[in-house]
Structure 1
Amino acid sequence: MDITGVKSINTSIYTAKNDTKKTDSKSSDSEKTEDKAQNLGTDKFVKSTESNTEPSTYKPTKQKLSTDEIAALKENEQNSKAELIKKFINDTISNQNKLLGKSTESGVPGMSKTTSDLLTKIFGSIENAYPPLATTPEGAQKAISEGGPYSVNAVADRIMTMAKALAGDDPNKLQQMRTAVEKGFKEAGFDFKKATNSDLPQICQDTCKEVMRRFDELQSKASSTNDTTKSDTKDSKDSK
């Protein structure tokens, strides 16, 4: 047999088989592409509408407070202020008595951060609201004497400073502060009598009288200013 002929036959067979495989491979790839194209062709694009679209974020609805609710909030706020000044008076009177050697209460009382911040805002510091107590008999006597931090005028100054800061320019709130101050002194007297079976020392009673005198003066001035304002308003309307 001619070797050259055998080689030629084998080579042609191999080439034919190889070409067939390549053709089959291309055909398969083509079919896959067509199938994929057909599958894609079945997909449908649906445009969303507002009716089936959920909002991405929740926006709470603001609700207005009723007149009664607003009034209740203001009343609670005013009651809190009244309680604050009553406690301030009780603590301050207690410090006066401690300087007299007639009280077993501690000096500066414990307080919340809210109270501490408010007192700091009104007086500049806690030390200004509650001056440190003297530790010697001589220092104690000086503290309650005229010009001392716990004298009648000094304590009255601090009480009125707080009352005016809490009441502002509102005559009604000023009267509420006066009522709270009166109750504060009464409660201080009640606590003192319960502990010692005696009335408040004279310096405390004098302090109360001085504070009430200042309230009289302040409220009389506020009333006169209010009357003048009303009169000016009336005259202005009449002139028109």
Structure 2
Amino acid sequence: MDITGVKSINESTYTSKNDTKKANTKDSVAEKNEDKAQNLGTDKFVKSTEDTSKPSTYKPIKNKLSTDEITALKENEQNSKAELIKKFINDTISNQNKLLGKSTESGIPEMSKSTSDLLTKIFGSVENAYPPLSTTPEAAQKAISEGGPYSVNAVADRIMTMAKALAGDDPNKLQQMRAAVEKEFKEAGFDFKKATNSDLPQICQDTCKEVMRRFDELQSKVNSNNDTIKSDTKDSKDSK
């Protein structure tokens, strides 16, 4: 028997089987790789005819204000209004005193744009809120006399116009406005006495009394209207 021949046949058979096995293995690997490629390609490259996009479910978190924070904001707003009317009263009283002293200084104080815008909204113009001061003794006397822009009634009119604009018909806010006005007149009196060693001029005192009288009248009217509304509401509910 030819050993060389047998060896050659065995080697040929082994090589053939081995090559076939390798080929099958390569084909299997290639198929797997191709499947992977196709699977990856499906996610990355294949364009779907359906709209698979979904709206984002993320919503910004809104932190609700606590009751204390809301109360603080309301108090800050009310304090700002109170400070505004107090400054307005102080400036107006100062102008009355300047007229008594025959001053030629401007009657319009320095102010922010937001303040001037608010005064324009309430009075029509800053000049209506702060009428210019007269430049002669005769004109100054006329300005603080009855019918003049710095008379008791004219100043009381402007103070009440601002108070009603800032407080509206809310009884609580009106009371806060009243307290702020009363406090400012007292402080103006203290400051004036400290500077001159005398009480506020009579025109300023009379203006304060007139403003307080008008607050009493306004608050009484508002409270009466609110009582009527409550009564009508109650009657309406009872009739049902």
TM-score interval for Structure 1 and Structure 2 normalised by the shorter chain:
0.7 to 0.9
**Identical counterparts, % of pairs:** 88
Deviation for aligned residue 1:105: 7.7
Deviation for aligned residue 1:61: 2.6
TM-score using structure 2 length: 0.75
1:196 partnered with 2:196: yes
- Aligned counterparts, 1:98-117, within 5 A: 98-101=98-101, 107-117=107-117
Q: Tell me which residue corresponds to 1:45.
A: 41
Could you tell me how far apart the structure 1 residues matched to 2:222 and 2:134 are? 38
Q: Tell me which residue corresponds to 2:82.
A: 82
For structure 1, list consecutive stretches of 5 or more residues without a partner in the other structure.
1-40
- Aligned counterparts, 1:1-240, within 5 A: 44-45=40-41, 47=43, 60-101=60-101, 107-240=107-240
8 Å contact 1:185–1:208 — kept in the other structure? yes
Deviation for aligned residue 1:226: 1.1
Could you tell me how far apart the structure 1 residues matched to 2:114 and 2:214 are? 28
Could you tell me how far apart the structure 1 residues matched to 2:182 and 2:104 are? 23
Could you tell me how far apart the structure 1 residues matched to 2:180 and 2:95 are? 19
Q: Which amino acid aligns with 1:136?
A: T
Q: Deviation string for 1:195-223 (max 9, x for gaps)?
A: 11111000000000000000010011111
For structure 2, list consecutive stretches of 5 or more residues without a partner in the other structure.
1-35, 45-52
Q: Which amino acid aligns with 1:77?
A: E
Could you tell me how far apart the structure 1 residues matched to 2:85 and 2:41 are? 72
Q: Deviation string for 1:168-214 (max 9, x for gaps)?
A: 11110000000000011111111211211111000000000000000
Q: How many pairs are equivalent? A: 197
Could you tell me how far apart the structure 2 residues matched to 1:46 and 1:135 are? 90
C-alpha RMSD of the superposition: 2.6
Deviation for aligned residue 1:232: 1.2
Deviation for aligned residue 1:107: 2.8
Could you tell me how far apart the structure 2 residues matched to 1:134 and 1:66 are? 52
Q: Which amino acid aligns with 1:213?
A: R
Q: Which amino acid aligns with 2:186?
A: K
Could you tell me how far apart the structure 1 residues matched to 2:154 and 2:75 are? 30
Q: Tell me which residue corresponds to 2:23.
A: none
Q: Deviation string for 1:86-128 (max 9, x for gaps)?
A: 0100000000000000879863211111111111110010000
Could you tell me how far apart the structure 2 residues matched to 1:103 and 1:181 are? 25
Q: Which amino acid aligns with 1:186?
A: K
TM-score using structure 1 length: 0.75
